[in-house]
Structure 1
Amino acid sequence: MQPGQVGTGRVLVVDDDVTVSDVVRRYLERAGHDVVLAATGEDALRLAGAQPPDLVVLDLMLPGIDGVEVCRRLRGAIPVIMLTALGEEENRIAGLRLGADDYVTKPFSPRELALRVRSVLRRSAPRAGARELADGDLRLDGAARAATLAGVELALTGREFDLLEFFMSHPGEAFTRAQLLASVWGWDFGDQSTVTVHVRRLREKVERVPAKPSRICTVWGVGYRYDRAAS
């Protein structure tokens, strides 16, 4: 990502449909991104390894190594936006569990995808003047976009970091999944299971006993609330 160009960067588009790839490339280049194309999962992993992109737009239905496996191998190191068909809910959930940041359902609007790409890149960029937050042994550095638990850095995806930062900034407040989608993802509508999956993943990283969370608590009939650790 070039200095001063928050929300733009090098994007790897992975899709075996030449028409889709070309349309996505043109829209993203028009938005100021440097775009690289791959038609297979093998090519995507090779290109990402040789020169890591700022973001990957990843079709889940690929020949050979499929998109879910590509997402697994990237392991949250690079922001991922998945392209999924309407009937691929199981694969979409699998991708979110593996750390994908966002998804767009086919058929999709190229303009909407370009806005999603910009949003994810903007959120993943380091921010000057961002706050530091602390809750017992859990610490979050907004400028560095890093979080530690008991001195050990947490391996958070960009969206997990955003969610944790939002929770820690609003302790004791209950939020519905729709409110979290709007505040963290910037979506006015969408699949609320996205929130559920990310909360589950975040609990696995910040809770001592994820099945009995003490920080990210479920508020039945509402959604979730962040409770500060007892002093």
Structure 2
Amino acid sequence: MSDDPTRSAPATDEPTGARGGTDDEGSVTTARLSEYLDDGRRPYDPLIEDDPEARAQLAALARLRRITADLLADDAAAEPTPDPSWFDGIMSRVRLESRSGREIPLLSADRRSSLHITEGAVRSLIREAGDSVPGVVVVSCGIVGDVTVPGSVVSVDVQVSTLYGAPVPELAETVKAAVAALVAQQTELVVEAVDVTVRDVHLLDDDGEAEAPR
């Protein structure tokens, strides 16, 4: 059995028969996403590749796998490997936050047409930006404010997990900068603040074994 918690059995909220399929709401299961990554995204799966929400979940799962691989390979640093329930929890948040949500209007040169980006797409951008910071995993994120009105001032809330020994204040500032830059580049939101909260830290117990995040 693999030591990689991202390759473990599906979370308990997925039905046993969902392997390779969809859940009760018609969304692609984490098990199917995992198998698709295992197969190198071949053959092409339109149920995943043609669905923005499924693609966002696939990208988040791929990032979690890379982080896990780094932890498992870093024996010299004796980094603890997060337990499977932690990953299940993050993927549950990814699935929830990747849903479309509110429509955020964009400027259009054509007055006869309207453009928008979904709140779920922006949350995926926020997660991508946070996950790009070494030593950080985004646990959850959200946008606070009325995004449906052009020009409205909003704030971004990001909750993260860090590795034991990481300089938390510096990491938080780096996450803020990364999120603010990507949101400004990809959207027209007026972001007043990016609030970063460290929810847990991975550490070792007295025997040098991995403990669950705290």
TM-score normalized by the length of structure 1: 0.38
TM-score normalized by the length of structure 2: 0.40
Q: Which has the higher contact order (CA 8 A, sep 6+)?
A: 2
